[in-house]
Structure 1
Amino acid sequence: MFRFFSFVAALSIFCSCSNNKPTQLSPDSVSTDTTVYTMKVLHQNDEDCDSTLSKDCRILDISYPEFTDQPALNDSLSKRIQSIYTTETSYSSVDEMVEGFMADYRRFKLDPNFNNRVYNLTSKTKLVRNDQLIGIVVDSYIYTGGAHGGTLLSFINWDGRARKQILLDDVLKPGSRDSLKAIAERIFRKNEGISTSDPLKQYFFEDNTFALNENYLFTPEGIRYVYNEYEIKPYSSGRTELLLPYSEIRSLLKPESAISHLYKAE
């Protein structure tokens, strides 16, 4: 998977955190449970920026839900957001990661090669509810002084009743991964306009062999895969999306799982 690289260096700031009124994810006609959360918002401004002269003083903007009844989900989401800013330092919370980000920026401001380059980190979390299945989409952007910034889109699939993450092996029949990969490669080649005999040398797949990553979201249409920037293509090509419709993979899926209501409804 693509990882962001950061240059360790930094400045000073202003911070505000706010928790909104608890929000309830309403159940659909199948489910009778609810999931309650509050949104946590973190802001940081460049303290050397004159807000009376500029509207672009904010350099960090993170918002994400904190669930009242899902501590394991809170932990998983927190770690996912922390992974946006990868350094040699390990963080134990999003708040601590923010402090580290800003401290690095302060040091970066002292570097002779600073050249007025301003750090930026933005991360927004979106929730998608399909019965007991909670889909979490973390959409992020980060810039830490290099030639350009980078975006990262990542997913968490969560079983609200079982209170655990839903993994591919939880929904696939045993021994079906190779068949799933073969179907995915066929769809990928069609999307990319590549024949079945063409090599994949222009991509960053190991040994030029197609591979699915672990960045997927279970949607009502199918399994949505996303390869982020630099993962299988150059930065200039952006991210690559791949949808595996349930109509193509239904035979590979367990008849009963946390996502079976999605493809049985087809």
Structure 2
Amino acid sequence: MQTITQRVLSDTVYSKGTAVLTYTIRYPYFTTTCSEAAALSINAFYSTAARKTEEYCRTVLASQASVQAEYAKKDNYPFFGYEFISAYTVTWNSGCMTSLYTDQYTYTGGAHGSTIRTSDTWDFSSGRYLTLADFYPHNPAYREGIFRILDQQVKARETDSPSTYFDDYPALIRSSFKPESFFVTPKGIVIYFQQYDIAPYSTGIPEFLIPFKKSR
């Protein structure tokens, strides 16, 4: 079993006295009764990723924000500071397995920001990163089964709320599908897509639950 504590990197970046960027990066730290070596390896993974994300914020994103602030000052129009938030959600934590997803929200002006999701499922007895195929050990054609379930769910959602998804969603589901885009919950496996992959922005990040009884 894993005990999870939250660690945070957060700051405000200034340029010529103006706050151009605020960022908050939340990431997990694990202790486990399964394998201490596995926890050390997984903790190093998240710590390194958080530091790299912070470096991106303080260099690339802050530089872009500073330039935009200068343009705004020169042209005498309001500047809205950039914002970056990375937050994780644990969806399964039982035995020696933990599954979670991380949403990274970036606002760089305009009507709204954008969110990118990543996810990880770990075996804390070995430190191994679990893949979607690991949940279908005797079904090499598992993707086609998933596609059929997703088609059915989108069709039902479109019946209830028309135009929630793009018209060519069957083709988009297949072309945009990424096997790493999943996480595990007590009810089953959730497949997700990024914003704009298969639906307009208003739909958000589409999620599809595949109950365990249908996941193999």
Using the size of structure 1 for normalisation, the TM-score is: 0.61
Q: Identity percentage over the alignment?
A: 23
> What's 2:208 paired with?
242
Relative to its length, the structure with more strand (as a share) is: 2
Aligned to 1:188: 154
Structure 2 partner of 1:159: 123
Aligned to 1:119: 82
> What secondary structure sits across from 2:147 in the alignment?
helix
Matches within 5 A, 1:1-266: 27=1, 35=2, 39-47=6-14, 48=17, 59-67=22-30, 69=37, 70-74=39-43, 76-77=45-46, 93-100=52-59, 101-112=61-72, 115-127=78-90, 128-172=92-136, 173=138, 174-193=140-159, 202-203=167-168, 208=171, 210-211=173-174, 212-214=177-179, 215-249=181-215, 252=216
Change (3 A) 1:203 1:74: farther
Moved more, 62-71 or 162-171: 62-71
CA separation in 2, counterparts of 1:201 and 1:43? 37
Structure 2: distance between partners of 1:46 and 1:209: 39
In structure 2, do the counterparts of structure 1 residues 203 and 76 end up closer, same or farther at CA, with 3 Å as the change threshold? farther
| TM-score, structure 2 as length reference | 0.73
Task: After TM superposition, give the deviation of residue 175 of structure 1 in Å.
Answer: 2.9
Higher helix share: 2
State the Cα distance separating 1:132 from its structure 2 match: 1.1
Measured against aligned partners, the alpha-carbon deviations of 1:113-137 in whole angstroms (never above 9, x if no partner) come to: 6731210111112334121111122
Cα offset, 1:163, TM superposition:
0.4
Secondary structure, aligned partner of 2:9: strand
Q: Distance in 2 between matches of 1:237 and 1:188?
A: 12
What residue is the counterpart of 2:34 in the other structure? none
Residues 1:203 and 1:144: Cα distance change in structure 2 (over 3 Å): farther
Q: Is the 1:67–1:74 Cα contact (8 Å) retained in structure 2?
A: yes
Gap runs ≥5 in structure 2 = 32-36
* Paired letter, 2:167: Q
Summarize the Cα distance change of 1:72–1:97 in structure 2 as closer, same or farther, 3 Å threshold.
farther
Give the aligned length.
Answer: 194
CA contact (8 A) 2:172 2:197 kept: no
**Two-structure CA RMSD over aligned residues (Å):** 3.1
Which runs of no fewer than 5 residues in structure 1 stay unpaired?
Answer: 1-26, 28-34, 51-56, 82-91, 195-199, 253-266
Name segments (4+ residues, structure 1) moved above 6 Å.
none
